Structure 1
Amino acid sequence: MCRQGDVVSIVGFHNSTPEMKFVSRSSLVLTINIDKTTETDLQSAVEAAGKVFAKEKLEVIDFTSHIDLSKEPGHYVISWEINGEASEQVLGECCNCLDKSFVNNGYITSHKDNSIGPLEFQLVRTGTFQKILEHSVGLGAAVNQYKTPRCVGAANTAVLQILTQNVVKIYFSTAF
C-alpha cells in the first residue's frame, strides 16, 4: 500500500488505469547505494552527536544534510550551525558519532564494501540558516510556515551554494 507523498513510477497501463511501481517512501532523505536513511534516522544521529556538544555547554542551532556524489564513492554531508567555539577534538568526536549513529544495515554494509565514503561534517557560520530562510521567503515561502530542510536535494543549488559559501570547518569521519 502506498502512502500519500510516496514516490512511485508508472510502469504501464491496464486499460486506462495506470500500473504503478513503488520507488521509495517520502520520509527517505538520504540514499546513495542500498542505504535508506530517513529523517528520523538523521534526527537521531544529530541528537546523539549533540550530546557530545552538551558536555561542553554548546548546542546545535540548526542543521541540514545532503549527499555529495562529486567524488567516488559518494558520501553524506551534515552541516551544523552551533553557538560558541568547539575544540578540534570535540568536533572530530561529533563527526565520528554522527557517522556511527546511522545504524541501518544498508549504510553499514555500504561502508564495509566502500560504496559510501566517510561522512563529511561541516561547521557553518552563525547566520547561515537565517540566509537559507531569507532565500526561501524570497521565493515565496511564508515565514511562519518555514521549516529548515533536513535534506537539501541536488536540484536546490541555491541552498547548497549558501551552505558551501558559509563553511568554516570540515571534518571527515574516521569511524569506519
Structure 2
Amino acid sequence: MSSKSKTIFVCTECGTQQPKWIGQCPDCGAWNTLQENLTAPAASKNRFQGYAGPAQNRVQVLADVSLEEHTRLSTGISELDRVLGGGLVSGSVVLIGGDPGIGKSTILLQTQAVLAETRQTLYVSGEESPQQVSLRAQRLGLARERLRLMPETCVELILATAAQEKPQVMVIDSVQTIFTERLQSAPGSV
C-alpha cells in the first residue's frame, strides 16, 4: 500500500466515489456535486509500534498525559543511574555515544552483567565476535553464566529473537552496524 494520501471525489447527493473529478455523477445524474476528499493512508502492517509505550495515534493535550511515575531500574553503576535520572525506564531507548575506544561497549557489558543477575537480558553484538565479548567479560571479572549474547546485524532477526526470548533489557552494540532487509543501503548509512 502507498504511504501517501489519496484523493477521491465524493458525490454530495448520493455518496458515490470516483477516482477523478467529472461534471456529472454517473450514479445519480446530478451535476457539479463531486467534492474532493483526501483519504489517509492505511497503517502499514510492517510498521513497528509500541516500543516506547502503547501506540496512541491521536493528538493529546500535554496536560492530559498521565504523569504516573515509572519505576526505574538501577544499572548497578551509580554514575550511569545519575545520568539516566535514576536508572532505566521500562520501554525506553537509550543511545550511548562517544569517541571510539572510550568504553561504551565495556560499560554496556558491565550493566548487562548486573542486570542479568535478576532479569532476562540480551546483548546483541554487531561489531565484535562472541569470543571478543566473552574475553572482555572475563577480563572485567564479570559472571558470564547468565549473560546471553546474539551476534547479529539484521534488525528483522534481532526483533524476531527479542519477541521470542522476551528480554527485559536488550543492548545493541553497535547501532551503526545494524541493517534492514527492506532497504538496499549499507548498514550505518542513511
- Higher RCO structure (Cα 8 Å, ≥6 apart): 1
Q: If you compute each CA radius of gyration, which structure gives the higher value, 1 or 2?
A: 2
TM-score by length of structure 1 reads: 0.26
Structure that is richer in helix per residue:
1
TM-score between both structures, scaled by the size of structure 2: 0.25
More strand by share: 1
